Amino acid sequence: MAELIEVKLKNLDKVIKETLSRIGIPNKKEKILYPSCYLYEQDGKHYIVHFKKLFMLEREDAYDNMCEEDIERRNAIIYCLKQWGLIEVDESTIEPHNKYVFVLPFKEKKSWQLKHKYNVRTLHNEEPKEE
Identify the pLDDT of residue 58.
78
pTM of the model: 0.85
Asked whether residue 130 is assigned to any structural domain, the reply reads no
Q: For residue 100, which of 126, 86, 122, 79 has the smallest C-alpha distance?
A: 79
Burial of 130 (0-12, 13-18, 19+ CB in 10 A): exposed
Q: What is the CATH number of the domain that holds 40?
A: 3.30.70.650
Residue at 131 is within a domain:
no
User: Would you state the pLDDT for residue 62?
Assistant: 60
Query: Could you report how far apart the first and last alpha carbons of the chain are, in Å?
Result: 40
Per-residue pLDDT tens digits for 66-85? 888 999 999 999 999 999 99
Would 26 be classed as within a structural domain? yes
Least confident span in 30-34, 60-64, 78-82, 107-111: 60-64
Q: At what angle do helices 68-83 and 13-20 cross, to 10 degrees?
A: 130
Q: What is the 3-state secondary structure (H, E, C) of 104-124?
A: CCHHHHHHCEECCCCCHHHHC
d(CA 111, CA 15): 20
35 within domain boundaries: yes
In the chain, what percentage of residues exceed pLDDT 70? 85
Confidence band of 99 (pLDDT split at 50, 70, 90):
confident
Domain count, the chain: 1
